[in-house]
Amino acid sequence: MTLQFTIHATDGGARSGEIATAHGVIRTPAFMPVGTAATVKGMHPEAVAATGADIILGNTYHLMLRPGAERIARLGGLHQFMHWNRPILTDSGGFQVMSLAALRTLTEASVTFKSHIDGTMWELSPERAIEIQHLLGSTITMVLDECTPYPVSADQAERSMQLSMRWAARSKAAFVPRAGYGLFGIVQGSTIAKLRQESVAALTEIGFDGYAIGGLAVGEGQAEMFRVLDFTVPAMPADKPRYLMGVGKPEDIVGAVLRGVDMFDCVIPTRSARFGRAYTSMGEINIRNARHADDPRPLDEHSTSPVCRNYSRAYLHHLFKADEMLGPMLLTLHNLHYYQELMAGLRAAISERCLEAHVAGLKAAWQKGDIAPLTS
């Protein structure tokens, strides 16, 4: 294998550890900010790193359309192109292609689809998806899969999963092993235990550096997602990283960490910030609400975020009301900082074997919520 994963501590089903890569160490459990088009929206790479992020995510589908994998390769690869010298994981594009259901044609060989940008036709095969990620210089490459929609019939879920397993084998054959670079397989099977377990077995036989759980966070709800994790994660190799794709809100991440998941990505902290929603130790805050207009407090008095050190709720409220671009930028910085603080706290609690008490404290604070200050 080409990546080294070391588990340093466990607490129940949760693990804390490190993934050693060609571009540095990833501390787990890890949250990966999403940089779909070679940028985390509204953030300098240095600022993303300063939040504590060890790794970010890019996207094969978007980068193949614009500016193109070959162009990025000529310009020195994705790390140099976007000025990020830490690990990058690239999603193979399966989820994005799934979302284009009316514009795609799926066959055994590949998927053809119309670009959402200009309507031109493109073809993506497992081999081409791996080639694109190689051109990008991705630290962690993902196999091409079909992200099974939800809800779906058992027959359709099985056909989709089996196609993804055949594509996983082709992806593995096309991957060029290099020290410090890795390839992850993706478990599919919808919400059906038998299919998920068959998928894990097939991927384990092929052999990957890590194993992702796909086909969740697609509308099934938190309770159903946790139910699927309860029978999927125990079947996965214990000595490899486990990655839950596209998740999620803080409470989703905490629940998945308790079940043994090591890696996460989601657009929620950055997308929510653009609409005025902040994540804090007291839960979610909508900074557009009028109650913040005269509030001199920081977003979160318990946070070490530079936004909380330097800006009041009143100022942030003003920026959003005035439609100033600095508002979404500052809230993006805050949200990413909060997510990294959340992950650091989980890692520390696992190492100290006090995760249950730590999670109980998190949940109690979220349930209590953001309380307005007393006024005279």
Active-site residues: which are they? 91, 265
- In the block, tokens 């005035």 appear at 322
Residues 6+ apart with CB under 8 A from 156: 148
Whether 100 and 63 have beta carbons less than 8 Å apart is answered as: no
Measured from the Cβ of residue 102, the count of other Cβ atoms closer than 10 Å reads: 7
Q: Let me know the angle formed at the C-alpha of 219 by 99 and 320, rounded to the nearest 5 degrees.
A: 80
Distance CA 320, CA 312 (A): 13
Instruction: Strand 121-124: give its sheet, edge to edge.
Output: 104-106, 111-114, 121-124
Distance CA 260, CA 147 (A): 22
- In the block, tokens 């699927």 appear at 228
